[in-house]
Structure formats: C-alpha cells, structure tokens
Chains A and B, each alone.
Chain A
C-alpha cells in the first residue's frame, strides 16, 4: 500500500472524515517524506505498520542526519493495537471470562456426549436437557457479574431511590435475554414480567446518548440532597411518572413518601393533599402482578393464575377510577401535586398518551404495555408487532445490538439472533450462546446441519472454530483453545494440529505446554513435529546442543544423520583444542545409536583416540599409550575413516612412535602406517588432488619417526 500524499495534518493516506471510522495515530518518528507503508497483521489484534523512507533521500541527507534525533532512521515498524469492539470490557476481563467459561462449557459438552451415548442405548429423549443448559447458563451469568459489588451501608437512606451498582455489561444483558427466550421453559409463561425485570436491571445501558428512565432518576437523586420543596420541582413529577411507567414501584413509593406534605409541621395544613399522595402510594404498592414470584422487598401483589389475577386487576383499576373521580382533588391546593398525581393515575389506567410521554426508550414503552395496557400473556407474534410499533413511536432511539437481539428473538428469527450475537458481542458470546439456542430442539436443524457454503461444517462448529482461533492468537489464552476445538467434530482436530505447529517455539515452558496438549489429544505426529521445529529453531540460532536434543526427542533420524555428517566433514579441518571440545560434546550428545552408517562410529572412535592421546600427554603410562596405539590402528584399518584425516592421525602418532621406553608399534603396525603414508604420497602425484596441509618438514619428521620405530620394532622382535 504505497502512500505518498501528504495531508497538512500529517496523514500519509488521504481519507474522508465523513465516514465514521476509528482513527489511530502512529508515532513512527521517521523523517519525512515517507516512501512506502506496509501494513500486515501481527498476533492477536495487532497491526504492524512499516514506514520506509526513500533510499536516495537517506543518502543525500547523510551529513545533517547525525544532528537530528532519529532522523537518520531508514524506516521503522510500529505496532498498532486495534481496540476491542466493546470498550466496556477490558482485555483482562475478557480473558477472565474466557478462562471461567471453559469449565462450564466442557462440562456441558461432557454431559451432552454422555446423554447421547445413553439415548443411543435406551432411546430416551433429551426431554429435560434444558435444565442442564440452565445450570450452564447460570454459571456463565455468575461469571459475567461485575466482580466487586460496592460496599453496602447498614443504615438505609430514604433519599436513595436508585441503588448505585456497577454498570452491568451489555454482554450480560444479552446473555440474560437469550436465556429468557431460548432456555428457561418456565419463564416463557411469565415472559412479559421477565422483560419488565430485565429492563429494570439493564435500563442504564439501553442507550448511552439518549435519556432513559434510569438517567432521569439518577439526575433527580443527585438533586434531592439540595432540594427543599421537592413537590414544586417539575422534575420530581416527571421522574415519578417515568419510574411508574416501567414498573419500578418501590422507587415510586419511596419518592412519593418524600413529598413535603408528610413533614410533621405541614400535616395540618395539607391534610387532604397528604391523603391523596398516600392513597396513590398505596395503590401503587398494591398493584397486582401476574408472575411466578416476587422477590422479597419488591412491591405489588403477586398472582400466579390468570383468573385470580384478572379479578384483582379489575378491582384495582376500579379503585383507581374511583380515586380519579373523587371530589378530594378540588380540595388539593397544590397544583403540581394535583396534576402529578392524576398523571400517575392515568398511567396506571393505561392511558397511552401519558405513558408515551413518560417513557424514553422504546423498550420502556414496550414493557409498560405489559404492566398497564395488556397484562395478559401475548403471543410472540403480538409482541413482535408491539415492539415494531414502539420502535416507530420512539424512532429517536438508535437501534443497538440489544434492540436488534430482542426484535430478532420476538420475531422468532434465529438467524438474526445468531448474526446479532456474533456481530455485536463477539466470538465468545456467539460460541457460548449457541448452547442456549440449542437447548430448544426445534433449532437443531438450523444449528447443526452441515452446510455446503460453510465448507461442510455446521454453524455451531464454525463459531467454535472462529473462537478457538481468537483464543490461539493470544499467548495466555491459547492453552484453552483445544477445549473448543475438541468439540468440533469435523475440522476441530485438523485446526488444532495446524495451530499447535504454528505456536512460537522460543519459550521452553510454552513448548512443554504445547507438547502436553499434543499428549492429551494423542497427536503424536504433531508432537514430534513441534519437537523438530524446536530443534531446527535451536540449531539455527547456534544452540547446537539443544538442537540435537530436540531432534533426538523427535526421533528425527535423518536430521541427526545429517548433523553427524556435518560433524564428520568438519573434523580435521581445524584441530585446535577448542573446536575439538565442542564437537566432542556434540558427539557425546548424539549418542551411540545415530549414524550407524559408519560416520558416527568413526566419530566415537576418533574421540576416544583423541581422549586417550590427551591422557598420554599428561602421564607417562605406557599402558595408556599402548591403548592409544590400538585405537589408532583400529581407526586406520576402518574403511569409514576419511582419507583426509590420515595425515593428521599420522601426525598425532609421532609422539607414540617416539615413545622412549620401548617401541609401542610392532613391525606390522608400523608397516600399516607406512603404507597409508605411501598411499597419500601417491595421491599427491595425481592431477587436481588436494594439497597436503602439512609442511614438508613435518612430513619428513613423520617418515623419520616411522622408520625409527620400524627399526626398533625389528630389533625387539
């Protein structure tokens, strides 16, 4: 990607500012002009950007480059970290979620496999499978909880209407939605109220830019401390109506009780007003709810069956209407109170206009329908239609991932849900959430059928594979990726093999960890492959010994033989003590089994000879010297001893030949040495033969020593 255009603000590549793209500034520190830019992916979400200056330019400016700091760089590679999609969750937290979800996921897969085995034998259906999934879902939800809850004060402040908790994450909100719609079979009956609860918990993250009931209440709460006459403030009444619309009954009652007419000094003068406020508060707190149970401390009356509920509901509405028509309103002197309270009554009576005015986000409007307009269970189709209507009414609310997820789920459109999960919440979410979708056996066709356009794998497998690749891209999470690949029947093991053989081999501990994975999944081939790669890496980086060690572990005969061959060839090239010690260590390491073709056998003998020769040097033991002679003869007799070494062997033997006490070599042995020397000399006469690297005087001294020894041997015999 060549870029040469220079924008005044330092951009190398022109771009239009109208498009909403994230921008990253690169501190390359390379002196301009920049000639070329290369961009490539690095590990994980890192981009490597190489900025390179033109060569000629560099050359011309050589004189002044020394003065400017960093100006003499020919180019530089910088790494740019691309931000995660969800700024709410840090990378570390994301990893923590990844670690924590391994066990529940593996446990669920294990159960699934066990059940599948059992059903194959006894053909029992997976009727209560969803209960296992619920268990799984709950453990994941626990994980998504923000870890540190704020300290709870013992004394309850009546002015705190909104409990300040850590903002929940979108991830958790989405997970809970999925559980609600696809797993929990009990909850489907109580879906409307479940949605009300969901909004209560996640209202604060529904919209970041626009107002929500939560933000409205939050603002009011901050104001409460300094507010003297609370009922004069229109915001108080607005917040009250908003909270009521979404069914936060306890907040409404709490706020109502802060009304000025409750103050002791005002009781007498505002008796009627106070009566009205209290009446509304009682009505609010006795609102009938059609739900499974009501958590302790929550207001309202819980009804589990429809007939009971309808009876109570009618009665309650009757009471509201009665209060609405009562004559007391005339006696209420405070205008704001009068209007505010009647607005609340209208909301409870299900007046669409009042509700719509009091709500902000479409979800808020949506759930208020279940509370005040149509509390009886609706079909998904009706709900979907209602959601569309609410979306239209609150068209200002931007659609975000959660919105699209809810609409997709209500529209019973599983493809939309899958796409949304993966797009808005990332690979972790979709991989784990598919288990929730799969709890409903009606979806299995879509989820588990092998698709031609996906290369013959199912949607479930596709997402697991993608997630595993994400895990492999980070050194800390790569250890858990195999768990996910193991549950991919088609391409899992194949990808595991590829990924393992691409893991970095610089760190010894990491290699052992990778080998451990190989052992666990019985990937013997990859195991030896990794060892070979490590061996090559070490060998190429000059750590020859460890290279040999790894080749041996890998059982790489051919490379070990090559190494033996190399050693074999370099012996005799130089005979300094240092190099001798070096290759001696390598030979030791190679062991006796390698290079049976002859090379190594020779190397071992040669080493032994050299060693014994050293002993001879130190001591004057004739036995040791005699042993050296034996080795020398063996070496010279052996056909695998290369010819170019003969001379150096003969040179080494001079010391033995000149042994003072007695001749160490007998006549036959001396003759062998002589014949070898003769052979070498004959070779010299041939055209283009290599020159002997021994100077003539040395050669002469060998001849002399041989001759002397021969004569001494004759005399001895």
Chain B
C-alpha cells in the first residue's frame, strides 16, 4: 500500500491478468461496483468479473476497502475492451469486445449484480468484425454501441428495448472524405482505432446518437484512447499516443491539435512520461476541485496512465501532477463518475489498484 499525503493506493492481487477496469453505475448510493475484464493464462479463459467495494471496520486495516467477487461472466475469447454505461436505465449495461471479433452486452441485475442477460453479436449471421475488435464505446443511454476492429470496419450496434440486438449498421460511412479512407482503415484500426492516428485516423468515437463520428487528422502517431464523453462543453477530444504524447483536438480548429504533454514535431513541449499512454480520461475531480472559471478555450484537465507505471493529471499550461509511479505498467484506469476522487486501475502485475484521493471538494451532483 502506497501512502503519500492525501493519496492512498490499495492493491488487490488477482492471480490473472487484468485487462480492463470500469466502475459500474450502482443503483443505490451505498453500493459500489467494479467490472473487470480478466484473462487467466493457466487455463486460457477470460471473463468479466463484477466486484463490490465495501468498507469493513472489523478488518485489520479499516481504511482499506474490501473487494468481493460478486458475479462472473465467462467470455468466449480474450476481452479487448470493456465499457460500462454511465446512466442507469432499468439495467446496468456493459459492453465487451473480444479478440474473436464479437461484441457482447451484459445486463446486470441491480440488486445482486448477477448477470441477467447476455446479448452477443455472434447470434447474427455474419461475424461483426473479421478479426479482433480493437475497441467499443457505449453511448451514454446504453442503447447504441460503436465498435472498431482491426479489419478496418466501424460498426454501430443498437440494442432494442426488449433486450434484443435491434440492428447492426455495418461499416458506417458519414461522409465522402472518410469513405475514401475505408480501405486504409485496415492499418489505422490496428493503431487502436478508437484513438485513430497514423496518417489520417478513422474514427474518434460517437459523441451523440446520430452525430458524426469524427475523423482524426492528427499528424502524430498515436495509439492511445480517446475520451470524448466527459463534459461536452465544447467539442474537444483528448488523445494519448506513443512516447507520452497527449494532445487535445478541438473540432473548431481541426487543423491544430493542442499538445498537452509529450514532444511535438517541432521538439517543444514537456513530457509526463516517455512511454505509451494506455488510457486517457477527463479528470472530473480536478475539474470540480479547481475553480471552474475556465475560459472556453482552455482544455479541461485530463488523467492518463502509461506503460512505465505513471498515472498523472495533465493540465494545459501547468506542471503535471503525478498520482502514481508504479513499478509496473498501468494498463487501464477509470474514474468513478459518482465519486470522482476514486480511481480504479488495472496493474500489469495481475492486480487491481484502487486509488483514493482526498475528497476536499464536494462530490458533483449528476
């Protein structure tokens, strides 16, 4: 357990590789759930596991929350991405993509967090993706999900009211510009399609139903993830890439990405770390705790985790705040939307880490 100032990290060894972590939207304010995508190398099995997080005053370290495995859904193939829905509408929904090219939807019982229903794109006639799915993203209502694969396809799957896959829109094309790139998406999708990148990236994600998926014309090689969901005050994407590059991309000034971290092509800029950025997200906590008189041009603070084990908050024009410097890579992280001070992360050495920051600011109301 690392303990420095207001930060507390608790580690929970899992004995299997933790590929992705997400907070699940709870029904009541007293429950806290974490969904993890795990892969057991001993028997080559994969699963989504749902843990509950609770405090027990009787335990040896009363500050350390207890993590209990509550339910488990075996996945047919290794999981490449996991997303949970952010609003609670009758069921908690999680979307899972696999290396086998399928996308699955999990409906979780709100009371005992058992997995009620599972929908799979495998039930359709044709496989959704021909090859591994690189990423999925769930629209906030939980009814639509966009997926990108190494085959260069971008698909939109909608889930109907009755819990059926209502339709799959294959190979989305929004404009002529992108259709010209369709064939080369093949390469770019490998570059982590949700992040886009390379010479001219394909898709950044969907901001709203029916809205245009955005093409990322970043000239930097990037492979990290895009976070476009959080406070959509302006149409800004943040992108993490190789060599610690983090930049924001504003739709209104498409030609000029704003470099937040890393070395730009001209050789300027400061770097949080030098290695691969694995995941990136707007830091809601930093936003609420700092004065919210940000001008409209200012990029909101972002949190990023990297291969060299750094979890940091990056703010435009300010020195970075390093939250964690682990011995091993941090492969994934997620900020709790309900309690933005708490972050769950997946550590390379087969464990889940829970980072708790001091809650000096009042929790934001959603």
Contacts and interface: CB of A to CB of B under 8 A. Distances in A.
Interface of A: 90-93, 95-96, 99, 102-103, 147, 474-476, 479-480, 507-509, 512-513, 516, 519, 538, 543-549, 553, 581-582, 584-586, 588-589, 591
Interface string B241-273: 010000000000000000000000000000000
Given A90-B15, A549-B198, 5 more contacts: A92-B350, A479-B348, A512-B307, A545-B184, A591-B199
Given A99-B350, A508-B190, A475 B41 contact: yes
A566 to B, nearest CB: 16
Contacts of A516: 275-276, 307-308
Interface of A is mostly: helix
A240 to B, nearest CB: 34
Nearest to A93: B15
26 contacts: A92-B15, A96-B349, A102-B327, A147-B13, A476-B17, A476-B41, A476-B350, A507-B99, A508-B134, A509-B331, A512-B223, A512-B276, A513-B276, A519-B275, A543-B151, A545-B186, A546-B186, A547-B187, A548-B187, A549-B198, A581-B183, A582-B183, A584-B180, A586-B183, A588-B180, A589-B187
Nearest to B221: A553
A130 to B, nearest CB: 25
Contacts of B151: 543
B22 to A, nearest CB: 17
Given A95-B350, A476-B17, A516-B307, A544 B186 contact: yes
B352 to A, nearest CB: 14
B182 interface: yes
A95 B223 CA distance: 29
B328 to A, nearest CB: 7
A90 B13 CA distance: 14
The 8 closest A-B pairs by CB, nearest first: A585-B183, A545-B186, A92-B15, A545-B187, A549-B187, A99-B349, A585-B184, A546-B190
Contacts of A96: 13, 15, 349-350
Contacts of B99: 507
B73 interface: no
Contacts of B188: 545, 549
B152 A545 contact: yes
B20 to A, nearest CB: 11
B342 interface: no
B16 interface: yes
A91 B42 contact: yes
A545 B275 contact: no
Contact of A508 (B150, B185, B242, B328): B150
B305 interface: no
The CB with the most chain A CB atoms within 10 A, among B183, B331, B348, is that of B183
A545 B181 CA distance: 11
A585 B181 contact: yes
Given A516-B307, A585-B182, A538 B327 contact: no
Contacts, number: 96
Contacts of B137: none
Nearest to A591: B199
Contacts of B134: 508
B329 A479 contact: yes
B345 to A, nearest CB: 16
A476 B41 CA distance: 8
Contacts of A92: 15-16, 42, 350
A17 B273 CA distance: 59
Contacts of A91: 42
B307 A545 contact: no
B86 interface: no
Contacts of A586: 183-184
Interface string B179-216: 01111111111111000001100000000000000000
Interface string B30-60: 0000000000011000000000000000000
A150 to B, nearest CB: 12
Given A99-B349, A474-B41, A549-B191, A589 B275 contact: no
Contacts of B183: 545, 581-582, 584-586
Contacts of B16: 92
A513 B150 CA distance: 18
A543 B186 contact: yes
A588 B184 contact: yes
Nearest to A513: B307
Nearest to B199: A589
Interface string B293-323: 0000000000000011000000000000000
Given A474-B41, A543-B190, A545-B188, A479 B150 contact: no
Nearest to A479: B348
A99 B328 contact: yes
The CB with the most chain A CB atoms within 10 A, among B191, B329, B349, B350, is that of B349
Contacts of B276: 512-513, 516
Contacts of A93: 15
A519 B242 CA distance: 11
B101 to A, nearest CB: 13
The CB with the most chain A CB atoms within 10 A, among B13, B17, B150, B190, is that of B190
A546 B150 contact: yes
A443 to B, nearest CB: 29
A475 B39 CA distance: 12
A544 B17 CA distance: 31
Contacts of B190: 508, 538, 543, 546, 549
A551 B150 CA distance: 17
Nearest to A588: B184
Nearest to A512: B276
B184 A589 contact: yes
Nearest to B13: A96
Contacts of A545: 152, 183-188
Nearest to B223: A512
A387 B185 CA distance: 72
The CB with the most chain B CB atoms within 10 A, among A476, A480, A507, is that of A476
Contacts of B350: 92, 95-96, 99, 476
The CB with the most chain A CB atoms within 10 A, among B186, B188, B198, B242, is that of B186
Nearest to A103: B327
Nearest to B243: A519
Contacts of A548: 187
Contacts of A549: 187-188, 190-191, 198
A516 B309 CA distance: 12
A92 B294 CA distance: 48
B80 to A, nearest CB: 9
B199 to A, nearest CB: 7
A613 to B, nearest CB: 15
Contacts of B15: 90, 92-93, 95-96
A102 B242 CA distance: 25
A483 to B, nearest CB: 10
B152 A513 contact: no
A300 B2 CA distance: 39
B78 to A, nearest CB: 9
A259 B318 CA distance: 74
A431 B183 CA distance: 51
Contact of B329 (A508, A513, A519, A543): A513
A659 B242 CA distance: 52
Contacts of A95: 15, 350
B133 to A, nearest CB: 12
B105 to A, nearest CB: 23
A428 to B, nearest CB: 15
Contacts of A147: 13
The CB with the most chain B CB atoms within 10 A, among A480, A507, A589, is that of A589
A667 B273 CA distance: 64
A479 B184 contact: no
A585 B181 CA distance: 6
A588 B187 CA distance: 12
Nearest to A548: B187
A549 B200 CA distance: 12
A142 to B, nearest CB: 13
Contacts of A507: 99
A96 B198 CA distance: 37
